[in-house]
Amino acid sequence: MTQLAGPARTDRTRSSSRGLAARVSLGKRFTPVPAEFMMIASTALLLTVFGLVMVLSATSADAVSKGASPVDGALRQGIFAVLGIPLMFLISRLPISAIKKMAWPALFGAVVLQLLVFTPLGYAEGGNRNWLKIAGFTLQPSEFLKLALAVWIGYVLMRKQTMLGTWHQVFIPVVPVSVLAIGTVLAGRDLGTSMVLVIIMLGCLFFSGVKLRLFIIPVVLGALAVLALALTSSDRMRRITAVCSGMANYEDDCYQSIHGRWGMATGGVFGVGLGNSQEKYGWLPAAGNDFIFAIVGEELGLIGCLVVLALFATFAVGVFHVIRKTRDPFIRITAGGITVWIVGQAIFNIGVVIGMFPVMGVPLPFMSQGGTALLAVLIACGVLLAFARTIPAAERGKVAR
């Protein structure tokens, strides 16, 4: 009996330790995600589904007039949603160290992809050469450049956290490399996307915590560059002056903006009903793309517009909680740049529809028709979800000021 007691006790100890290890492993795997994770993921999914419904409604009439299936546009958009949503949750599992290692390769790859628009694979639309056509699908490389630029700037500024008090440490290499990347988009005459890239750079600089006097310099330089590009282009100046000219240029530069506002006004508070828009029947160009918010306003009214705005606000609040609670400067800077991109682009798009801004040609994130834009935004949300998983347990559930 004495000889058997030792081995038996050892076996029981090993079995107990294996059971404990299994319970610990399962406990880590099924640990509840932070509330911020749920806010970002749920709003991204709701906006994507909402967008698919509105793309179906906005593009069905045009598709039928061309002899195509009324669900053709929504199906093409749905393909990218089916690819992007699982990819978003897959990326959310990546360790932050892996995302940091991707910074330089991602930026280099995105710039190379953007340069391909100047090869026979590229083509122009609406005066901008910013698209690729591969195997029957169109691709807009600048959408991936937005995410790559935010991740790269976050990585570079993270490594310089202790040296951000001097201007040359802040500016080099962030500003020169960013200008080169933005220049590849400007070479295709796409000022709207270039402006979004500029605000991503400025957003990353702001969330890095640089001194205000150093932050003001790139803001002024960026504003002067946009102003110079606008003044030196007659097409862009027509778009800017069209904001104030009202019905004077109805048949020319104001046509799209006026019909967008007419659609919003027709919807009233409750809208004319889903699928009952009149503007989508050939009156409003780009009804499923840049002016999809006008179709939301016409069919679902003020209530539908407020729902969209509330979802974007909830998304921003979730990310800002992550920024506030994180201890990693890379997460803070990159998350800030991505949020400025998505929320800022939504403000630009909605501002164009309601007549506050000239037509810029930027889509409404998650909702506008365009598979590349949807895929890029969902991948960016995957990065944000990976950041949300790193919030310290002691900070979860706390309200960030």
Task: List, as one string, the DSSP characters of 62-122.
Answer: HHHHTTS-TTHHHHHHHHHHHHHHHHHHHHTTS-HHHHHHTHHHHHHHHHHHHHGGGSTTE
**How many CA within 13 A on the CB side of residue 55?**
27
Residue 243 lies in a domain: yes
State residue 321's pLDDT score: 95
Residue 134: which domain range? 40-395
Select from 164, 99, 192, 140 the least CA-distant residue to 380: 99
Cis check for the bond before 86: say yes or no (omega within 30 of 0).
no
Angle between helices 329-353 and 292-325 (to 10 degrees): 160
Is residue 41 helix, strand or coil?
A: helix
State residue 29's pLDDT score: 53
Question: Count of CB atoms within 10 A of residue 209's CB?
Answer: 13
Say if residues 182 and 198 touch (Cβ distance below 8 Å).
yes
Residue 350's Cβ-count burial label (10 Å; 0-12, 13-18, 19+) is: buried
Residue 135 lies in a domain: yes
State residue 9's pLDDT score: 52
Q: What's the one-letter identity of residue 55?
A: V
Tell me the C-alpha to C-alpha distance, in Å, between residue 205 and each of 120, 217, 339, 372.
36, 11, 13, 26
Q: Which two tokens stand for residue 72?
A: 């053709």
State residue 14's pLDDT score: 54
Residue 246 lies in a domain: yes
311 CB-near residues (< 8 Å, 6+ apart): 43, 46, 47, 50
Q: How far is CA 117 from the centre of its chain?
A: 21
Residue 34 lies in a domain: no
CA gap 323, 77 in Å, rounded? 31
Q: What's the one-letter identity of residue 90?
A: L
CA gap 254, 239 in Å, rounded? 8
Q: What's the one-letter identity of residue 272?
A: V
Q: What's the one-letter identity of residue 315?
A: F
- Strands across the sheet containing 122-125: 122-125, 128-134, 137-139
Residue 276 lies in a domain: yes
State residue 249's pLDDT score: 56
Say if residues 117 and 188 touch (Cβ distance below 8 Å).
yes
State residue 399's pLDDT score: 54
* Backbone dihedral angles phi then psi of residue 331, each to the nearest 5 degrees: -65, -45
Residue 10 lies in a domain: no
State residue 259's pLDDT score: 80
Say if residues 352 and 358 touch (Cβ distance below 8 Å).
yes
State residue 1's pLDDT score: 43
Task: List, as one string, the DSSP characters of 211-244.
Answer: -HHHHHHHHHHHHHHHHHHHHT-HHHHHHHHHHH
Select from 236, 235, 349, 238 the least CA-distant residue to 289: 349
Residue 7 lies in a domain: no
Residue 370 lies in a domain: yes
Instruction: Indicate the number of domains in the chain.
Output: 1
Per residue of the chain (401 residues), what is the pLDDT tens digit? 444 455 555 555 555 545 544 444 444 455 678 889 999 999 999 999 999 999 999 988 888 877 788 888 889 999 999 999 999 999 999 999 999 999 999 999 999 999 999 988 888 877 788 888 887 778 899 999 999 999 999 999 998 877 777 777 778 888 899 999 999 998 888 888 998 999 999 999 999 888 877 778 777 877 787 777 777 766 666 666 655 555 555 555 667 778 888 888 888 899 999 988 888 887 888 888 889 999 999 999 999 999 999 999 999 999 999 999 998 999 999 999 999 999 999 999 999 888 888 878 889 999 999 889 999 999 999 999 999 999 876 555 555 55
Is residue 31 helix, strand or coil?
A: coil
CA gap 351, 48 in Å, rounded? 20
Q: Which two tokens stand for residue 149?
A: 């630029």
State residue 180's pLDDT score: 93
C-alpha dihedral (201, 207, 208, 210), degrees to nearest 10: 90
